[in-house]
Amino acid sequence: MSYRYLIQVHHHRRYRVGKSCLLLQFTDKRFQPVHDLTIGVEFGARMITIDNKPIKLQIWDTAGQESFRSITRSYYRGAAGALLVYDITRRETFNHLASWLEDARQHANANMTIMLIGNKSDLAHRRAVSTEEGEQFAKEHGLIFMEASAKTAQNVEEAFISTASTIYKKIQDGVFDVSNEIGNPFCKYLSSSDSLQVK
């Protein structure tokens, strides 16, 4: 299938927050309760439509363990967006957000769109991080915020589409200079005509 843009999004989180399950729910529309720990990087893709234009969304699912942090950093450089995920039932995953966010901003394009996702909203009875805390963190750091559930699919579609739509708007507004490939590491032409990769 041909597409107008290919947008790459970096999907990152502290380990064991259900991030890979979010990706699987978005790309395959299914929930897998037991998922192997991400080793290095995994990849997912799906065609979406924004403003009546077909767009291929590529999601790079990177490991959250410290031992893979140097690998993770290399993927920030090529991303137009990032999804930063924490588990609403585990306070420590929220407490580490500032560190991961600083890392992302240090190694990524200054215009990268970042969506903060509080995963496992279906486990509200075990909540350790309030919605208001997530909203406040996002507001203080200029992030988009949403709570979601990989298990029930609540807000999963919305989180990915919202991130892609924000990136698309930046392309339309000229924030990403897609007209000039030379010297621009975030844009490169694909082999098919009238297609562009926004990394």
- List, for residues 160-185, the tens digit of each pLDDT value: 999 999 988 998 898 876 665 333 33
Question: Does residue 137 belong to any structural domain of this protein?
Answer: yes
Q: Are 117 and 144 in contact (CB under 8 A)?
A: no
pTM of the model: 0.78
Pairing mode of beta strands 113-119, 81-87: parallel
Mean of pLDDT over the chain: 76
CATH number of the domain within which 134 lies: 3.40.50.300
Question: Does residue 189 belong to any structural domain of this protein?
Answer: no
Question: Does residue 172 belong to any structural domain of this protein?
Answer: yes
Domain count, the chain: 1
Question: Does residue 181 belong to any structural domain of this protein?
Answer: no
Question: What is the separation, in whole angstroms, between the first and last Cα of the chain?
Answer: 19
Question: Does residue 187 belong to any structural domain of this protein?
Answer: no
Query: Could you list the residue range(s) of the whole structural domain that residue 17 is in?
Result: 2-176
- List, for residues 101-152, the tens digit of each pLDDT value: 888 888 777 888 999 999 999 999 999 999 999 999 999 999 999 999 999 9
Question: Does residue 96 belong to any structural domain of this protein?
Answer: yes
Q: Would you say residue 72 has pLDDT above 90?
A: no
